[in-house]
Amino acid sequence: MYFVYILKCSDGTLYTGMTTDVDRRLAQHKSGKGGNYTHAKGALKIVYSEKAQNRSVALKREAEIKRWTRQKKLDLIKFRRAHLNN
């Protein structure tokens, strides 16, 4: 199983990625081994994740979200939180 996630960085920016293990990937980002962007910006926490049925679907969804504006990503995060609280 794969996951697409959005991570909040210490400077407030958002990073989108994909993984098979969200907790492991966050630990990698926090340790500075998760990629150049999060190494430079500092990873704080995962603010959104969704399951994908396979790697291909996850890659396509990751690419889609990466093309979105910051506001659209924030709307996705807000929408998910609202539905989890209901």
- Specify the number of domains making up the chain: 1
Q: Is the pTM of this model over 0.85?
A: yes
Range of the domain at 64: 2-84
Q: What angle do CA 62, 64, 65 make, to 5 degrees?
A: 65
- Which pLDDT belongs to residue 86? 57
| 64/82: higher pLDDT | 64
Task: Yes or no: say if 73 and 64 are a contact pair by the CB < 8 Å rule.
Answer: no
- Which pLDDT belongs to residue 34? 83
CATH number at residue 73: 3.40.1440.10
**pLDDT digit string (tens) for 9-68?**
999 999 999 999 999 999 999 998 888 999 999 999 999 999 999 999 999 999 999 999
Q: How many Å apart are CA 38 and CA 51, to the nearest integer?
A: 22
